[in-house]
A = this chain, B = another copy of it.
Amino acid sequence: MKPYKNMSEEELNVLKTELTKQYEDVKGKGLKLNMARGLPSAEQLDMEADFFNTLHPESDFYSEAGIDCRNYGELTGITEARKLMADMMEVSPDEVIVFGNSSLNIMYDTVCRSVVLGVCGSTPWCKLDKVKFLCPVPGYDRHFAITEQFGMEMINIPLHDDGPDMDMVEKYVNNDPAVKGIWCVPKYSNPSGITYSDEVVRRFANLKPAAEDFRIYWDNAYTIHHLYNGKEAELLEILEECKKAGNPDMVFKFCSTSKVTFPGSGIAALAASENNLAFVKKVITIQTIGHDKLNQLRHVRYFKNIDGMKAHMKKHAAIVRPKFELVIDVLKKELESLEIGTWTNPNGGYFISFNSLPGCAKRIVAMCKDAGVTLTGAGAAYPYKKDPEDSNIRIAPTYPSMEELAKALEVFVICVKLASVESLLGPEV
């Protein structure tokens, strides 16, 4: 089929009638499918059954250092959990604090702490007239929600195939002292799936911030979440690069096992320089007596070490990969020749980013919803939920079964086509 843009109004009208019928047909099926969030599927979770064998009534509940994990203490995490998370984060255990079940919670608290208490002795942000955050787009909606809640001004930075537009990042960070942070998902980025190039990481490390309390918020959520053997993305380690560049304190790095073991019941960690961690420790020692050490112990005993964790991720990949391939296959087959959308084809992570014709994303998501297919809200990948082009849609293919996914894609493709035809035809007179 030829590109829609080359069609005559008459051809488009014929197509519209046809697509409208198709849409009404799928709508009549009463589907209830969800591609909204990056959730592991039941099949992935079932694969983890042995996790529930790691601690049992006869277990030894003591850490390697002799700490009773059933009692209070060890604010920064038991030694072996710090080691495991350090290996996952490619840093040293001294640079790691293991927290509770959510890296999002760590990020929120890290920003909140800066608002109330400042960063390592700087003026608390709540005492400042204006705080700005840079937001590579499309990006992770929950990052933007944090900075929005604290009333910060968010500035869109285009995300290219190799990372954020670094000319723009440098311009803002190096000149404006109100710019206090940038949100990054540097590997298998949410939602586009791209990984920052070595050059981009080095340019990050070599920033010369106008604000002493500027930090890079480096959410390495998908660091070991590869889809293919032999096609693993390589990302330079940012703490190391910052040290080399003489900026050791410039980064907070976040990670969790939410998509390694269980969302909501994993363990999460923060990595940062000695200076940063000393300040964080001073604050969190008032916030809590410690995090869940039994869950840290479960994780360490389940995986043994980083190799065990990586081997485990291959099992996840085996379940997730066919879903990504199905999405890509369907989009290619159904949409490529029509030139009404582009999409990413990532080698890891949890998302595919789809770009429709400008002005169509909201309409597509709404039509899908009416036909029983829930997608992430259009615009969600942008600060204030405002996609200037109204074209970006995040596809999260992991949660549905293959069969459900195929059905959902059928609906999605019809909606993309119909919305595109409508858009090309323009408003009815």
Contacts and interface: CB of A to CB of B under 8 A. Distances in A.
Interface stretch (A145-153, A182-190, A191-199): A145-153
Interface stretch (A43-51, A131-139, A214-222, A247-255): A43-51
B149 A263 contact: no
A102 B99 CA distance: 12
Contacts of A72: 37, 39, 258, 263-264
Contact of A104 (B101, B142, B289): B289
Q: How many of these chains are in the complex?
A: 2
A333 interface: no
A295 interface: yes
Contacts of A330: none
A68 interface: yes
A297 B73 CA distance: 24
Interface stretch (A111-119, A387-395, A403-411): A111-119
A68 B42 contact: yes
A4 interface: no
Given A100-B100, A101-B291, A126-B127, 17 more contacts: A37-B72, A40-B71, A49-B58, A52-B55, A70-B263, A100-B292, A102-B290, A108-B288, A117-B149, A142-B286, A142-B289, A146-B286, A149-B283, A262-B294, A264-B290, A292-B292, A295-B295
Interface of A: 37, 39-40, 42, 45, 48-50, 52-53, 55-59, 61, 68-73, 100-102, 104-105, 108-109, 112, 115-117, 124, 126-127, 142, 145-146, 149-150, 258, 262-265, 283, 286-295
